[in-house]
Amino acid sequence: MSPYERLLNEWKKENLQTADDLAGKLDSFRVLFAYHSGKIENENVTYHDTRDIFENGKIIDYTGDIRTLFEIQNQKEAHRFILESYEERRAIDEEFIKQLHAILMKGCYDEHRWNQGERPGEYKLHDYVTGIREIGCPPEYVSEEMEELIEDIQEAVPPEKAVIGGAYLHAKFENIHPFADGNGRVGRTLMNYYFLLQGHPPVIIYEEDRKKYYAALEEFDEELKLDQMIGFLKSEAIKTHSRYLEKPLVIADIEKCGYRATDSLIKNMRKLREICGTDCTLKDVETWKCNGFPEKAGEYAERVIEELRDQEREEGLKNSYKPDEPRYEEDEWEPER
């Protein structure tokens, strides 16, 4: 069984039925997806700004382009929209796509497009050019092209076939380029909603992989082939959900120490990983308790400590997990290796 097939099997086991189920599973995904999707279009998007807006709803001492903040906030609102739509199993149609675009591009159209009569949530009225190439089909044919695309992807397919439908939906949508701006952001979010409806895990297209991404889109534009896009999406899916395919250090560490790897414990340990930029062990957390928690990590480290103590009380664990004491020999000592 390939890593991709294993991923589909593990995702199926999650049996995500409600918006709450999905929200819990995509808690870390939502920030990373918003960051990478935004970064592909706007170099000013940063991970820290994205996380602050998603988690705190604000950024302190920001001095950059205000449009960047609108873009990030809109990604947050779009995630809520996707959760609500998933709860209803809302079908993909023109109204859905226009509503998604209106959310993602609110306050983000530049003066030129606005003066041309373009509006978020409405198909483009004019042709637009990037470099020397025109983008997409002429405005007068957009609605017809979109109707055909939507009809093409309506049929339900098994998860193992969904990557083909998702690749086609995304490549064809970008080929049409139905809006005056924001087509990339909408296309990536739309593809993931399609994946969710088909029981396929959503995918992050990482900004560092944009050359492969653009090459896959270009192959469809020029040859109407999806080979590169299908292979690329499978690769990005594995990269996105690697925790399903290789047991994370944090889970192995929790179980090794005799504790239960509960969802809340794993979630807080993963938050610490995001903040610190590396996998954190229980020994790290206990050491921080003795020496003072790192800035920004304290809240999550305290939650971990509290749950460990709760488990000890509930299950009567006799051996708390504590850092080894340094061994002193006369005036010299070395840490254990």
Domain shared by 149 and 189, yes or no:
yes
Q: How far is CA 219 from the centre of its chain?
A: 25
122, 267: one domain? no
Give the C-alpha separation, 39 to 252, whole Å. 33
Q: Read off the pLDDT of residues 253-268 as tens digits, 9 standing for 90 and up.
A: 777 788 887 878 877 8
Closest of 170, 180, 122, 173 to residue 147, by C-alpha: 173
Q: Which of 7-21, 217-231, 311-325 has the highest mean pLDDT?
A: 217-231
Beta bridge partners of 325: none
> Are 140 and 79 in the same domain?
yes
pLDDT given for residue 140 in this prediction: 96
Per-residue pLDDT at 329: 40
**Is 9 annotated as ligand-binding?**
no
Percent of the chain residues past pLDDT 90, beyond the cut: 54
**Which residue among 79, 101, 170, 177 is the active-site one?**
177
Q: How many helices (H) and strands (E) does the chain have?
A: 17, 4
> Would the pLDDT of 252 be above 90?
no
Kindly state the tokens that stand for 298. 């304290």
Active-site residue 177, yes or no?
Answer: yes
Q: Which pLDDT belongs to residue 228? A: 97
Q: 183 among the known binding-site residues?
A: yes
Domain carrying residue 164: 3-245
Contacts of 34 (CB under 8 A, 6+ apart): 50, 54, 72, 75, 76, 79
Single-letter amino acid code for the residue at 250: V
Ramachandran angles phi, psi of 336, nearest 5°? -65, 145
In this structure, the answer to whether residues 288 and 306 fall within a common structural domain is: yes
175 is in an annotated binding site: no
Pair 50, 31: CB distance under 8 Å: yes
Of 323, 302, 325, 321, the closest CA to residue 312 belongs to 321
pLDDT digits (tens, 9 = 90+) for 271-304: 776 676 555 677 778 777 777 767 777 888 888 8
Out of 201, 221, 245, pick the residue that ends a domain: 245
Are both 219 and 275 inside the same structural domain?
A: no
**What CATH number did the domain enclosing 11 receive?**
1.10.3290.10
Average pLDDT, the chain: 85
pLDDT digits (tens, 9 = 90+) for 207-220: 999 999 999 999 99
Any idea of the CA torsion for 109, 112, 115, 119, to the nearest 10 degrees? Answer: -20
